[in-house]
Every structure is written in C-alpha cells, then in structure tokens.
Amino acid sequence: MRSSVLLTVCASFALATTTTLAQNSTYLAIGDSVGFGITTTASYTQTSNGDRGYVSLYADYLATQNSGIRPAVVNASIYGDSTSSYFDTSNTARALNTNYTSTISQNTFVMNAITQAAAASRPVTTVTVSLGANDLLSIIQQPGFAGLPAPTQFALLQGAFGGIVTNLTAFYTGLRTALPTANIIAVGYYDPFAILPGNPNPALTAGVIQQLNETIRNISQAVGARFVDTYTPFLGNEATLTNMLLDPSIVPNVHPTGAGYSVIANQIIPAPGAGALVLLSTLAITRRRRVA
C-alpha cells in the first residue's frame, strides 16, 4: 500500500513539475499570414490559435532544448497585417486568430502578452517575426499593376519603403525595449512569384523582395535580433514549397506548403554555436544603451 501511495505521490510530483516547467517560458510569434501559418484555402477561413506552420515546428525544437518541455506558445500574428496596420485596427482579420478576444492592434496584443507572461512567471524568452511583405503585396495585387510599365511598377513599390523603414524601426525598437534579453528572430521572405506562369516581370519582384529582406536585416540586427534567410532555400523550389501552383482556388496563393514551413523552421533553428553569438551580440547592445 505504501509503495502504491509513494508511486502516486511521485507521479503527481512529476506531473506538477512538468507543468511548472512548461510555464517557465513563452514563445511569442508576431507577424502576418506566414507567421500565422496560412496554407491553402481552408486556412484562409478557419479560426486557429496559430500553433501551426513554422511556429509549431520551432516550438517543438525549443522543447528539445529544454528536456522535452515545450514553451507556452502565443501567436499574435494577423493574416494580412502590414507594418502600418500592425499598429492600428484597420485589418479586421484578427477574428481568425482565437487569441484575440477584443478589437485591439497587434502591437497592443503583443505588449499585453509580454506583460501577462511575465506576471504568470513564464516570461517571453523567444520571439519570431514575419512582418513587411504585405506592404508590397498590397501594391502588386492592385488591379492593373501587372500591365504597368516596369519603371512605373518599380516606382510604386519603392514608394512603400519609406513607410516600411519608419514602421519597422519603431516596431523593433519597441520590441527590444520591452524584451531587452529575449531571443528575437526576424524571418525574411521568399519570392513566390518566381514560379508563376506568365509573371510579367519576375526580376522586378525578386529584386524588391531582396531589398525588403535587406531592410529587415539591417533594422532588426541593429537591436540585436537574428535575421533568417528564407529567400535562398526557396529559390528554384517554389513549385513545392509554396502554393502558387498547387492551390488554383486562390490566385495567387503565396503561402508556403507544409514542406515550405518545414524549410522555414529549419532555417530558424540555429547552427551549433550560433546561440552564443546572438546572446553576446544582444548583451553588447544592451550594455551600449546603458552607457549611453
């Protein structure tokens, strides 16, 4: 009888310990539909808490680094959010994300989530960000854009970069201020249009997407975030890693396939030794701010 009771007590203690450990940290995902894990037609309309796509896969990886204990996952991403709508409530697609219980901006949600996680003794230690592509996509998808002369297309897209730089600078500065020691990961973008039949100017979209990636890289690294390249591994593999040709119900469906999200997750997972370099970079930036 005593052995049975002891086993029960030990099992209860182990369960309680595991539960406690699971709440010791939070992984916060921020961004747009790629951060939210949108894939094919069904996920455009189905609600979700966003624990899917590369977010789910990366959370699983984080568990392997913490004795199998998965972090609490909070996905703030909103389908269609741009660097400007991130700060307001103009995008109504937050209704698809079940983490939202009121009409607030993604920025407000993020700051509330950081405060709530800290109060619950499971502070945000890891953040991934997919933000910026919709600023350009909204221009590319305007009626008649494809028929415009290349110089006009280029000028329209270039016109968006002033706002992108301003908004991303405010975003990353605010995020780092709120999370001075967190591991912040800025996820770059691939070029889904490279595989699209009849794309009138794939070189234009590729060049602008690379410019967006450089913008994200420079601004995020300035606050000690780690930039992740997805452009390179997707290049030449868009037919299988995106839904551009696989989902005829939506043209174009720029979102990754399951295989595409796996590639993104594998890019996010740091190479051996990279974590220490990121930590040292973050600490150096924090020290410089304190001195200033």
What does the block give as tokens for 221? 């690294």
- Give me the half-sphere count of Cα atoms (radius 13 Å) on the Cβ side of residue 8: 5
Domain map of the chain by residue range? 25-291
Report, as an integer, the average pLDDT of 28-45. 92
Distance CA 189, CA 231 (A): 6
**Taken in order 92, 94, 98, 99, is the CA torsion positive or negative?**
negative
Instruction: Report which secondary-structure segment, H or E, holds 228.
Output: strand 226-228
Q: Which of 1-15, 156-170, 241-255 comes out lowest in average pLDDT?
A: 1-15
Residue 292, pLDDT > 70, answer no
> How many residues are listed for the chain in this entry?
292
What does the block give as tokens for 129? 């960000």
Output phi, psi for 27, to 5 deg: -105, 115
Residue of 188, 269, 274 lying closest to 230 (CA atoms): 188
Alpha helices in the chain (DSSP H): 2-22, 33-36, 41-45, 53-64, 106-119, 133-140, 150-158, 161-178, 202-221, 231-234, 238-241, 258-268, 274-291
What top-level class would CATH report for the domain 25-291? alpha beta
Distance CA 217, CA 86 (A): 19
The CB density around residue 252, as the number of other CB atoms within 10 Å, is 18
Report, as an integer, the average pLDDT of 42-58. 93
pTM passes above 0.75 = yes
Output phi, psi for 101, to 5 deg: -110, 0
Q: What is the pLDDT of residues 180-221, one digit of tens each?
A: 999 999 999 999 988 876 666 677 788 999 999 999 999 999
Q: What is the pLDDT of residues 228-265, one digit of tens each?
A: 999 999 999 999 999 988 887 776 889 999 999 999 99
Look-up of token digits 């290049």? 235
- Residue 211: per-residue pLDDT: 97
